[in-house]
Amino acid sequence: MGEKDLDKGARLIHAKMRQAEYQAFAAWLKACCNDPKLRSLPPLTAAQRARPARPNEVIRHARKSRVVDSFVRTVWSQRMRCFPCHTPNDIDANNPRHQAAIKNMAKFREKYPGLLEKVVIFKKTPEATLDYLVAQSLKTPAGGRPLLDLENPARSLLILKPLSKLPKKRPDGTFLPASSVDPISHMGGMKMHKNDQSYKSFVTWIADYSRVVANRYASVEDLPEDNWYASRSILRLMATPASWKVGQPVQLFVHAFDQQSGRYGSEPIAFTQGTVTPRHIVNGALFLLAPRDGRDGIKWDRERARLPQGRYLVRVFVDSKHRLANDVSLLLGAEDYVGQAEIARARWREGFRHAETVRGMALSRD
């Protein structure tokens, strides 16, 4: 692949060497095809042909390029929750909104010399970040928790840290050191809530990576739906029914209106997940869904991960039977459906200030 190769070592191979290898392979193939003895051999039966034990789709799913692509869409895309301490490469000195972060980082460096460099999790590129996460997980000290826990993805330090609160304070009001062992604490405080959209995407990716590494996928049916694209568009459900408990997980699925058929699509084009807040609100950033199985769907901006303006239907599902406790990656189904509501003209702008909103009282089962 030349300069496009994800492997640094492969990129070092000179173009002349790659061309020589190509010419050698081409010459060998032509010689075989021109050999009368080979051409006169009877055709092989399907059973006689050499082939890998697993289907092509399973092999493609385990390729590093696919793993990195999935990591970008479901983990790297959420890294700004860890800004700026774990993502200093994203600080822009020319951005007025980053000035406070720059000052705070300077104070942090002065107070804790050398510590900041040790907590930089998100490197300059997704590939470098993934390599770092894997390498550090393999070097986890005894009694510690790995950044990526392949045996229990939800117990990965990459997830437990942003779920944790600040460490306790000393009598003089200063904080104790943050802990990476139970009870875990995080000097940055809570940056993620259990069962929100980022928690779901982090755990889902680590679980998939764990199965890839362990060669647990044997058939196409085993593969997860790997078509999530993180966006900055927010969907909000206001005034949820009083019967919904605070902290209860809720999934919101977005269906686009098809002008040609005059109906909403049967397949969702986006979804998000959140929990009921004490103010009875559910918030979540959308994950856009690529059409499955080659089926046509509404076109959206892949580069910006943004839906077009228009008419949409929001279908709401509540995890009242605690299904997500057993499978974090689960997308709820008919048994969990509670109702739907229309958004007549969604604009899908970025950020919580511009969230598209539906209200609990507008939900209908029709």
pLDDT in tens, 100-152: 999 988 888 888 787 777 889 999 999 999 999 999 999 999 888 999 999 99
Query: In the prediction, which pLDDT does 108 show?
Result: 82
* Per-residue pLDDT, 305: 86
Residue 286: CB atoms within 10 Å? 25
- Per-residue pLDDT, 294: 46
User: The CATH number of 227-362 is which of 3.30.70, 3.30.429, 1.10.10, 2.60.40?
Assistant: 2.60.40
What residues have CB less than 8 Å from 257, skipping those under 6 apart? 263, 264, 265, 310, 311, 312, 313
Instruction: Name the residue type at position 148.
Output: L
**Under DSSP, is residue 286 helix (H, G, I), strand (E, B) or coil?**
strand
- Using CA atoms, how far residue 234 sits from 95, 254, 266, in Å, is 23, 12, 22
The 10 Å Cβ neighbour count of residue 334 is 6
Dump strand ranges (E) for the chain.
228-238, 249-258, 263-264, 270-275, 282-289, 310-318, 337-346, 356-359
Please write down the long-range contacts of 35-42, taking CB distance under 8 Å and 24 or more positions apart: none
The ranges of the chain with pLDDT < 70 are 6, 292-297
Determine the Cα–Cα distance for residues 200 and 239; give it in Å rounded to an integer.
23
Domain extent listing, the chain: 2-51, 61-213, 227-362
Place of tokens 């696919």: 66
CB 318 within 8 A of CB 324: no
**Which helix (H) or strand (E) is 31 found in, with range?**
helix 15-34
| Angstrom distance (rounded) from CA 277 to CA 126 | 32
- pLDDT value for 14: 85
At position 102, the amino acid (one-letter code) is: I
State the DSSP string of 199-260. HHHHHHHHHHHHHHHTT---SGGGS----EEEEEEEEEEES--TTSPTT-EEEEEEEEEETT
Angle, helices 197-213/64-74, rounded to nearest 10 degrees: 170
> Which residue(s) pair with 306 in the sheet?
301
Identify the residue whose tokens are 């998000």: 272
Measured CA to CA, the distance from residue 60 to residue 58 in angstroms comes to: 5
Single pTM value for the model: 0.86
Cβ neighbours around 138 below 10 Å, total: 10
Query: What is the structure's pLDDT at 3?
Result: 77
Please state the length of the chain: 366
- Please give the structure tokens belonging to residue 283: 């918030």
Distance CA 37, CA 60 (A): 35
